[in-house]
Amino acid sequence: MKLVLIKYNAGNIQSVLNALDRLGVQAVVSNNIEEIRSADKVIFPGVGHAKTAMQSLQAAKLDVVIKNLKQPVLGICVGMQLLCAHSEEEDTTGLGIIPIAVKRFRSSGSPREGLGERSGPLNGDSALKLKVPQVGWNTIYNLRSDLFKNVKENSYIYNVHSYFAEDSKHTIATCSYGVEYAAAIKKDNFYGLQFHTEKSAGTGDAILKNFLHLSGTWKS
C-alpha cells in the first residue's frame, strides 16, 4: 500500500508520521501532484490558520488535486476544516468537498444555548465560561462509520481547536463543547477528523488503523 501525506505549510506532518511509525506503517510525504494521485490512501493533516493553509494549497495547485482524488482521503484538524465549504476563520472559502460550514466556538452565552439533549462534559453553568480554544481530552459518541470499527462510544480523543464543523447529515461522530458539533465527517471517499488522532492514544491508533484498512476507490 502506498500512503501519502500531503506536504504544505500547514501540515502537522511529523506527529502524524510518529503515530504511523508506532503502527509500523511507512508513508511518503509529498506535494508532488502525480505522487499524490497515485497513492492508495492520502492523509491531509493541518494545524494553524485556515486562510494561510488554503493559500498554500492554491499556490501549489493542490486544491484542485485534492478535490479530484478518488481514493480514501483523511483530513485531520485544519485538514478536515478545509474539506468544508467555508470557515469563519478569516472568512475562508474551503475546498467545498463537504458542503458544511466551519464556525468559531463562542466563549460565553446561555448555558443551554445550542445544546441538544446531551450536553457532554460542559453541563449547566460551566458553559457560561467556555474556554476557547478547546484544549485537552473530550469524548466522541454517535459513532457511525467503518472508521470507528472496534472504537467504543464515549471514547476519549485529544483536541486543540477554536473552530468546528457544524453538525449535519455528513457527521459520523459527535462531540460536545458548549454545542454539539461534528467530531468526524464523511462524504464519498473523503473523511475528516477534528481531533488529533496522533495524540489520542489507543483510540487514535485504532482509527488510523481502520482508515488504512479501508478498501477501494470512489467511482463518481
3-state per-residue secondary structure call for 109-125: CCCCCCCCCCCCCCCHH
Residue that has been written with the C-alpha cell 511529523 in this structure: 14
The angle that helices 13-22 and 201-212 make with each other, rounded to 10 degrees, is 80
Partner residues linked to 61 by β-bridges: none
Instruction: Say whether 198 is catalytic.
Output: yes
Query: Could you tell me how far CA 164 lies from the centroid of its own chain?
Result: 9
Does 133 sit behind a cis peptide bond, omega within 30 degrees of 0 on the bond before it? yes
Q: Give me the catalytic one of 49, 77, 89, 153.
A: 77
Catalytic residue among 84, 89, 170, 196: 196
- List 170, 180, 198, 213, catalytic entry: 198
The C-alpha atoms of residue 177 and residue 122 are separated, in whole angstroms, by: 6
CA–CA separation, 139 and 56 (whole Å): 32
Q: State which amino acid sits at residue 99.
A: P
For residues 120 and 51, what is the distance between their CA atoms, to the nearest angstrom?
A: 30
196 annotated active-site? yes
As annotated, the active-site residues are 77, 196, 198
